[in-house]
Amino acid sequence: MEDQARMMSGLVGLSGLSQVDVGDHDAGRKQHSLGQPQQDIGDILQQIMAITDESLDEAQARKHALNCHRMKPALFSVLCEIKEKTVLSIRGIQDEDPPDPQIMRLDNMLLAEGVSGPEKGGASAAAAAVAAAAAGGSPNDGSIEHSDYRAKLTQIRGIYHSELEKYEQACSEFTNHVMNLLREQSRTRPISPKEIERMVGIIHRKFSSIQMQLKQSTCEAVMILRSRFLDARRKRRNFNKQATEVLNEYFYSHLSNPYPSEEAKEELAKKCAITVSQVSNWFGNKRIRYKKNIGKFQEEANLYAVKTAVDAASVSSQASQANSPATPNSGTHSDITHTHIRVRPRQDHSRSDIKHTQS
């Protein structure tokens, strides 16, 4: 930065104030202050070239002399005025910069993802997880995965915030530095407050572009985390015993038409503490797998057929029918095993049958 100061003092000196008796190398060309500006250019260039050869002491001396010149304040203010005008005219071209849509998108996403939100740390996060588990669809395993997910998210969040803080600090530090320099220089060369302001704006833009990279990579990390944790296929849990029992019960007691209606699915979902789509998945899998290999499911079918038969018997208080365990194949379910699953009349499978097994 001393170079620049030196340069400026040199240039200001060139523009007409150089009669000050600063050094002996000016002595030879005193005459250029009046008259032909064309011819001066050569001298000026010479002088510019000479500046690099000058020592810092010389420059300092020159600067000092310059500042002490009696005409300096007046000329300086004129220069400031001129510059103000030109700067203003330049500024007119590109005045208001629109907020970057890209960065706004990233901001929104980080906010939505809870990375840049107001809430901080464990307590409220845990509370949110608990609330989600209590209110939401999957009370069993969901909370565990959620807490794991939350932990990772908090980690990302921590990194993001510390980095962001570092950026902000660096930015303000740098801005301060530049402002100090400009203020310092404004004693030597014309710098309007607006110019400083503009410079600060430029610095902030630069830093925000760096910030955007940070935000972008944070977003990416969150997306990856999300896809990892929300891809349920990776975190498949088998349903618990009771749930499969309920499902199987329904399946085998509706073997002739194992297509639960939407309401039936909802009911089953509620009973099994799973979602409706999980019920649909289960029935889809069950139907296809049953059809593929009926023999393999024979035992299971018998078991549930007996179970429902017993239930029905206990309801109708007629126990005499249920005492043929020796040949179950020809018994209760022989007709249902031979039923074609393909046929599915969609009208009458109400939940009345489940109801009396349940109650």
Q: Which pair of tokens denotes residue 142?
A: 């969901």
Do the beta carbons of residue 255 and residue 301 sit within 8 Å? yes
Q: Which is nearer to DNA, 285 or 334 (CB)?
A: 285
**CA 215 to CA 221: how far, in whole Å?**
10
Q: Which is nearer to DNA, 142 or 331 (CB)?
A: 142
Please state the closest distance from residue 261 (CB atom) to DNA, in A: 8
Q: Which is nearer to DNA, 174 or 229 (CB)?
A: 229
Q: Which is nearer to DNA, 261 or 357 (CB)?
A: 261
Please state the closest distance from residue 338 (CB atom) to DNA, in A: 17
Please state the closest distance from residue 243 (CB atom) to DNA, in A: 8
5, 129, 346 from 59: Cα distances, Å: 9, 68, 97
Q: Which residues bind DNA (CB under 7 A)?
A: 231-239, 244, 259, 262, 274, 277-278, 280-285, 287-289, 291, 296, 341-342, 344
Q: Which is nearer to DNA, 72 or 254 (CB)?
A: 254
Please state the closest distance from residue 285 (CB atom) to DNA, in A: 5
Do the beta carbons of residue 69 and residue 19 sit within 8 Å? no
Please state the closest distance from residue 336 (CB atom) to DNA, in A: 15
Q: Which is nearer to DNA, 8 or 132 (CB)?
A: 132
Please state the closest distance from residue 289 (CB atom) to DNA, in A: 7
**CA 143 to CA 140: how far, in whole Å?**
7
Extract long-range pairs of 224-230: CB within 8 Å, 24+ residues apart: 225/149, 225/152, 225/153, 225/156, 226/113, 229/145, 229/148, 229/149, 229/152
19, 62, 220 from 58: Cα distances, Å: 16, 6, 56
